[in-house]
Each structure stands twice: as structure tokens, then as C-alpha cells.
Structure 1
Amino acid sequence: MTGAPPLRLEVIVGSVRAGRFAPTVAEWFLRTAGADPRFDTGAIDLAEFPLPLDLAENDAVRAFRRRLAAADAFVFVTSEYNHGYPAALKTAIDSAKHEWRGKPVGFVSYGGVSGGLRAVEQLRQVVAELHMVSVRESVSLHRAKRQFDAAGETADGAAIDGAARMLAQLAWWGVALRAARDAGPYPG
């Protein structure tokens, strides 16, 4: 990436539930990604960016799509509810189409014993249909509330290592896919 501008990474926070743990997980990951010079990192918290459930077109949807269109890569921060991912995240995914195409995506999941892995497996199927590239590495925080201290930091070595590996893969795919998009429109 020498000489190239940093990749625009949008971190999408998928849980909107009252009392959610999402901000703790998302803020930790945003600090981690923000320290990586390969990325210009932003956050889209769906609790602060309400999208219509009926997928109607409105100003919020148009603003959301503009943010997606300007991004080079994404990370979905997701909880797991009843073996799946949050409805707000599905609404966000379905509120756009072409803006997702030809871009890499990674996952930071959290939950109880499963650490959100079942939600991520479902998301991998959905993002493939959107012509996104799902990177192999991910972050999974099992029993997440026990993994963070009062300052919002974690000593979970697997999560820290997973975040570094995932960011490396997002950077590689982000550069490759940005060059491909610059060379011509995605054929999908």
C-alpha cells in the first residue's frame, strides 16, 4: 500500500437492543483498527442510524448507502440472538445492494458459549450472495462480558490475535479489490 491512501474501513455495529454489550466490543475493535495505519476507520452504529424495517427509501437509507459506497472494507460487529444475528443487521444489509459488491468483510462476534460463531456462519452465506469477500479470520468473544475489564480492554489472546490477522486479510483483499474496482465496474 505504499503511497496509496488508507483503506476506508466501516465498522457496522449490529445490535440495537436496550442494554446491549455491543458498544464495549465495538469500541475495543475500533481502537484496535484505528491504530492500524492501513485503515481510515469509521463506525456505523445501527442504534444511532435507524433504517426502516420495510426497506423503504428515505434520507437515512440514502446516507447509509453513501457511507457504504465510500468504503473499501467492512467489519460487522454482531451478537448472537437465538443462534442467529440481529434483525437490525439484516435490515441494514438488505437496505443496500451494489454498495456492498466487490468489497471484503470481516466479523467480530460475541455471545455466550458459542461466542457468536453461529451468527457469523449465517452472515457468511448472506454476504456471499451480495458478492462480498468474507475473510477467513474473525474475532469471536466467548462469554464476552467476562472478557473485558472496566476500561473496555480485553486480555483474550485469541481475540487480540484474531483481530490482527483479520485486519491483515482485510488490508490485502481491500487493496486488491479497490484496484479491481478502479480498473472497471464489478460484473454483477
Structure 2
Amino acid sequence: MSLSSYAQDAITWSTFRNGSKVADTVALGDYLPLRDNEVYVEAVIELPNTSKQELFSRSKLAIQKTFANNKMGTSNYDAEAGISSINNFYDISDMTALSAFGSNPSTDQYYFNAVLSIIVKDDKYKIKMEVPQYTYGQSSRYKTYSDFQSQSKPVGSLANSRQNGKRQRMRVLKTLNDKMLSTFNLVQKEMSKKLDTDF
């Protein structure tokens, strides 16, 4: 029963996007925003009558709420330049791995490195995000960022070539896109809130 439901989920993702026939290759551009063939997206949002200082304070709060705590995540804030950034990770579990169908599921997952920046000026801000690298396996093995980098691969290696597991890759890339969109929406929501400094 479990095997059937997991398999159906993967088929649903790919059929919805590509129809019943699955192509020999999976292209990054089918699911993810690209610039120069790299996973990258940005947006400029205007907030009239809002100072750079106010937006910078909001950006720090937005960064703190963007990702769940991660042992390797790092953040940086430059008030003079008006830049808040975070280097963190998306965990996307491998639902189609055979080990996930047993009574003791594996903890293997795709681990995507995501770099998010918020750049502020008077009356507007820019959100930028790139997802350059990933690993696959047990996340517990990564004690430091260097551990991750030593085993990471470019996100592009998940696509653009003939491969096995096409449906799985389609689902993973679709899920990554959904998570990026969710992050952008969260940042915009937090950036639109006035600071609660009256008490």
C-alpha cells in the first residue's frame, strides 16, 4: 500500500507537468528560474515612504524567519551597505527511495545550498536568491560547511542529461521551486510589516 501511494505521488508530479510521456531528459528551466543557466531569481519591491534604516531592520527580522535553524547556516548584516544575507539549506526528502518504503525509512535527502540576500534603499528593496549546489545522502554527516562543499555537486547535474529516476528528479526540482517561492512570499510578507516599536 505504501509503495503504491508513494509511486503515485511521483507519477502525479510528472504527469501534471509533462503529460503521460516522460521525456528522456529533465531540464532545470522546466521547473526553476534560471539566469546564465544557474538557479537564480530576484525581485525589486517598492515600499513608498519607507526609509533605508527601517527596511534594513525589517530585513534582519525577515532573514531570521526565513529558514529553520540549521547547524551550518550563516547570516551576515551590513547596515552601511543595506545588505542582509543568509547562506542556508533546503532539505528535500527522497520520497521515491526504496528504503523509504520499509518499516525503518532512510534519512537520505537532497540538501540544497540556498543563498538569500535582501538589499535595501529608501522606498524599495531587492530580494535575490541563488541555489548553486546540492548533495544527496544523510544530512547528519555534514558537521561543517566544508563537509558539505567537499561532497556537493552543481544543481545542474540533476538535469539536462539522459538519466534514470526522471520522475524523481522532476518531483525534487518542482519541490525546490515551491520552497523558493514560499521563501520569497515569506520575505515579502515580513518586509511589508511595520516595526512594532510602540509600547
TM-score relative to the length of structure 1: 0.27
Q: Which protein is bigger by CA-based radius of gyration?
A: 2
Higher fraction of strand:
2
Relative contact order, higher structure (CA 8 A, sep 6+): 2
